[in-house]
A and B are shown apart, each in its own frame.
Chain A
Amino acid sequence: MSAPVYDLVDFDEVVEKFDPALGLEVHVELSTKTKMFCGCPTTFGAEPNTQVCPTCLGLPGSLPVVNKAAVEAAIRIGLALNCSIAPWCRFARKNYFYPDMPKNFQTSQYDEPIAFDGYLDVVLDDGETFRVGIERAHMEEDTGKSVHIGGADGRIHGAEYSLLDYNRAGVPLIEIVTKPILGTRERAPEIARAYVTALRDLIKALGVSDVRMDQGSLRCDVNLSLAPRGSGELGTRTETKNVNSLRSVERAVRHEMCRQAGVLLAGGEVVQETRHFLEDTASTRPGRRKETSEDYRYFPEPDLVPIAPSEEWIEELRATLPELPWARRARLQKEWQLSDEELRDLVNAGALDLIEATVAAGAPADDARAWWVAYLTQQANAREIPLDELPITPAQVARVIELVKSGELTNKLAREAVNGVLAGEGDVDEVVAKRGLAVVSDEGELVAAVEAALAAQPDVVEKIRGGKVQAAGAIVGAVMKATGGKADAKRVRELILERCS
């Protein structure tokens, strides 16, 4: 039984005929040392089933105990999203069978989330701000991971069997659910992307997760429905999963709008279902239809006691909130005297954190900015990696700048020092020593080089003595050549003039 296939509708026509309603569910994996309910490590990429214990394997008799750091992270996320923090809440069991879930229920929060009713102001490309309402942020645990063997490209369909690794089972998750996002019209795809971007930056600033979409530590589900334009109704929604990049968020929204419009305009009905985003074609495909309707049979988790955060605790956590990303951007723009355009370029290049860290390590803002946006950006581009993955730290860049300021490195030598660091030859000073990059500061050596150059060009010496001081440049050049560019040109000039006076 295959569903009828409908044509996609042109995006402009969708917007003309329908109002989209968006809803975004974001799962964030916390970077706590241990899991939500047990003391197993959460690190990514370990050998399978080596980060497990009776509790996260769901062995008979095992019991959960809540990780305090995860609750604190949840409350801080809630506060940063302008949410109310529940004075009393519980965990619940969400019951359904699935092999990657060791207990066949997920310990989650249901009708008593720890944080609820907040908002996030999202700045769009044109500088306009759009407020996204936050329905709730709640705590839950991640599932294990399955590998499907025997089917095409590791997919679930057609597989002969599956292999399960429970290292990820029980890793703390915060699920952040928006209220229905209405009135977005043609900007729905852009707003979806901007929201997830802003949320990612916010959570990164809180330091509670590394929010890597590529590693699954930030995952986004896109709910979308269409209603006839101006009707004020809500249509049947689909939930698109497997949206693994910011770009995909935007494309998934766009595709679902065009697809659902196609169904509706052909007189069909949108099926309430889970769909999967396909990265290669920027389209979605339906998930398997459930044989039985969902009935998660939630009830309060009897193995865990309620959480009742005190006012004092909440205020203590509020005091730990860092400067929020948009506030920080505004401050840096002012401090570094950047135009809107310059700021946006820095943000887009991912250079803001790096420059600020370089400044924090002692470098002047101008120099730090110059290094990151020019030479280092070129290097990153040449290697086709993001700027923050270049193998050089802000502290190392600050050291290079310091050596240039003190005259120990010329700009040319400084670039060589950076190349050495990038090549993995060690820290800045090590590279300078190993590559012999230091400006020649041994006065005797320098004097000898100057005298040799003067002796080789007696005609120039005559010119200088005759008052043509600018002729000294030729001698300076010769000394620089002889020292392999490591001489301090200013000192060389002084020595030449002394000897020609």
Chain B
Amino acid sequence: MTSELIRKTAAELAELIHSKQVSAVEVAQAHLDRIAEVDGTIHAFLHVAADEALKSAALVDEALAAGSEPASPLAGVPLALKDVFTTIDMPTTAGSKILEGWRPPYDATVTKKLRAAGITILGKTNMDEFAMGSSTEYSAYGPTRNPWDLDRVPGGSGGGSAAALAAFEAPLAIGTDTGGSIRQPAAFTGTVGVKPTYGGVSRYGLIACASSLDQGGPCARTVLDAALLHEVIGGHDPLDSTSIDQPVPAVVDAVRQGASGDLSGVRVGVVRELTGEGYQAGVQAAFDAAVQQLEKLGADVVEVSCPTFPTGIAAYYLILPSEVSSNLARFDAMRYGLRVDQGSSAEEVMAATRESGFGPEVKRRIMLGTYALSAGYYDAYYGQAQKVRTLIARDFAAAFEQADVLVSPTAPTTAFPLGDKLDDPLSMYLNDLATIPTNLAGTAALSVPCGLADGLPTGLQVMAPAMGEAVMYRVAAAYEAARGPAPTPEVTA
């Protein structure tokens, strides 16, 4: 029974729980057992909250037994939460030594919404430190391994959440996507990851990497599960000034519509600049096959050009470190977190703590951002990057005149071996080439599995205009239905 339960989708589990065929506690226990079985190998979790999870699941069972309606369509379904959202009952570290053991005195809005929806939070997942990285190797607590090949990375920064899904440790997960941190791990692990419109999911309680780019989003093994979760966590939050004051797009309906398999009248734009050179041959082939599949479903496929997209990555690596250098200034050993008592003054203790509490990538980006914002350099770097950002938004706007959604491979390669890019920050950065434009423009995108290349998963990226999630989910659901069940990895302890 256990092995059956963990292979079910969130929608199936919800159905079983709400019809009382299986209890939420059983479902939670099955996943906790799976975590106990494989997470020593995968290391997707930084913290497993077994007692809290079982308690929360029991509350769902009690309410159902008393005849109440489920608190949400996902009530009782377990979830893995990226360790970058604050949780009052679990430590929150953002993958950093500097926050080791920190217990936040408040819940993030996303955390609150999950709790209110009756979703069982199994624990907190591993990530690159402060979400900086594309491999989860920059976690201060050791890397997460890709369930498809334990010698390869699961992608990053949300490698823990994606690996938890692929290894059947959880049917749902939450990630954050600043430059691809939901989508690239989804592609690397053969799971679904959605970066919602900027402002679509509250950032309150999300430990900031780059404020103007960060966006929390749903991760799952199917498009429908992602949509169900999207509707739980989305919506306006008065505690986040950048939150959009509009209803969550009706993505679940869109998925059901898409699953019927008809995409006639939907215009799909293939972004010329995000294919071809630099893309692994198998990745390109899988993508081309997916585009053909969409065409077969009735979509009008056109080629569009977004000439400034290739510059996006340079703009991104100026804007992100600049915001990081400021956002991470608060980690100073004065009020919370690590304090290294070296030196005789607050200044010295701050510098010693930051030096030993931050990892090399975080320090590198803080230094880069400090440089980019300095007097005399601001205009050439940060200011110019913000202009490129405008141009990228204009490219998107022009492309969305010709197409309802844009598509590309999610990442240029499949999962790379552990340690492969650690000493070469630039080649690590180039992995985010296709995902970054969406963050810069604040638009929406997702990654859906689109077949294997050399035995490893690849992702199809579907991009939509701001608040245009419905059509994006529809296209992904139609593709997913036509593609058939995605292959899954074998993970043994």
Q: Which residue of B lies closest to A303 (CB)?
A: B211
CB of B85 within 8 A of chain A? yes
Size category, B interface: 35 or more
Q: Is the interface of A mostly helix, strand, loop or mixed?
A: loop
**Binary CB contact string for chain B from 193 to 226 against chain A (1 if under 8 A, 0 otherwise):** 0000000000111111011100000000000000
Among A92-100, A251-259, A395-403, A453-461, the stretch in contact with B: A92-100
CB of A477 within 8 A of chain B? no
User: Which residues of the partner chain B approach A65 to less than 8 Å between Cβ atoms?
Assistant: 238-241
Q: Out of A58, A66, A164, name the residue touching B330 (CB < 8 Å).
A: A58
| Given the contacts A59-B105, A104-B329, A305 and B375 also touching, CB distance less than 8 Å | no
Which chain B residues in 374-432 approach chain A with CB under 8 Å? Answer: 374-375, 378, 382
| Given the contacts A59-B104, A103-B329, A295 and B203 also touching, CB distance less than 8 Å | no
CB of A441 within 8 A of chain B? no
CB of B163 within 8 A of chain A? no
Q: Out of A62, A99, A162, A299, name the residue touching B373 (CB < 8 Å).
A: A299
Which chain B residues in 320-345 approach chain A with CB under 8 Å? Answer: 322-323, 325-326, 329-332, 334-336
Q: How far is the CB of B444 from chain A (nearest CB, A)?
A: 19
Q: How far is the CB of A405 from chain B (nearest CB, A)?
A: 55
User: Which residues of the partner chain B approach A58 to less than 8 Å between Cβ atoms?
Assistant: 330, 335
Q: Out of B85, B102, B204, B330, name the residue touching A63 (CB < 8 Å).
A: B204
User: Which residues of the partner chain A approach B211 to less than 8 Å between Cβ atoms?
Assistant: 302-303
Q: A62–B334 Cα gap in the complex (Å)?
A: 17
**Binary CB contact string for chain B from 67 to 111 against chain A (1 if under 8 A, 0 otherwise):** 000000000000000000110000010100001001011101000
Q: Which residue of A lies closest to B98 (CB)?
A: A60
User: Which residues of the partner chain B approach A105 to less than 8 Å between Cβ atoms?
Assistant: 326, 329
Q: A465–B102 Cα gap in the complex (Å)?
A: 100
Q: How far is the CB of A166 from chain B (nearest CB, A)?
A: 8
| Given the contacts A59-B105, A295-B374, A297-B374, A303 and B326 also touching, CB distance less than 8 Å | no
**Binary CB contact string for chain A from 288 to 332 against chain B (1 if under 8 A, 0 otherwise):** 000000010111001111000000000000000000000000000
| Given the contacts A97-B350, A295-B375, A60 and B326 also touching, CB distance less than 8 Å | no
Size category, A interface: 20 to 34
Q: Which residue of A lies closest to B351 (CB)?
A: A97
| Given the contacts A95-B326, A99-B332, A103-B329, A302 and B86 also touching, CB distance less than 8 Å | no
Q: A104–B334 Cα gap in the complex (Å)?
A: 11
Which chain A residues in 176-198 approach chain B with CB under 8 Å? Answer: none
User: Which residues of the partner chain A approach B378 to less than 8 Å between Cβ atoms?
Assistant: 297, 299
User: Which residues of the partner chain A approach B323 to less than 8 Å between Cβ atoms?
Assistant: 299, 302
Question: Is B330 touching A303 in the complex (CB atoms < 8 A)?
Answer: no
Q: How far is the CB of A112 from chain B (nearest CB, A)?
A: 14
Question: Is B334 touching A302 in the complex (CB atoms < 8 A)?
Answer: no
Interface centre among A60, A105, A295, A302 (most CB of B within 10 A): A60
| Given the contacts A97-B347, A299-B322, A299-B382, A103 and B241 also touching, CB distance less than 8 Å | no
CB of B242 within 8 A of chain A? yes
| Given the contacts A62-B204, A299-B373, A305 and B326 also touching, CB distance less than 8 Å | no
Query: A54-B205, A66-B241, A164-B334 provided; 19 other pairs, C-beta below 8 A?
Result: A54-B104, A54-B105, A57-B335, A60-B104, A60-B207, A60-B330, A61-B104, A61-B108, A61-B204, A61-B206, A61-B207, A63-B203, A95-B325, A95-B329, A102-B335, A297-B374, A302-B242, A303-B241, A304-B241
Chain B positions within 8 Å of A, measured between CB atoms, are 85-86, 92, 94, 99, 102, 104-106, 108, 203-208, 210-212, 238-242, 322-323, 325-326, 329-332, 334-336, 346-347, 350, 370, 373-375, 378, 382
Chain A positions within 8 Å of B, measured between CB atoms, are 54, 57-66, 93, 95, 97, 99, 102-105, 162, 164, 295, 297-299, 302-305
27 CB-based A-B contacts, threshold 8 Å? A59-B104, A60-B92, A60-B331, A60-B336, A61-B204, A61-B206, A65-B238, A65-B239, A65-B241, A66-B241, A93-B326, A97-B347, A97-B350, A99-B332, A103-B330, A104-B332, A105-B329, A162-B346, A295-B375, A297-B325, A297-B373, A298-B373, A302-B211, A302-B242, A303-B211, A303-B241, A303-B242
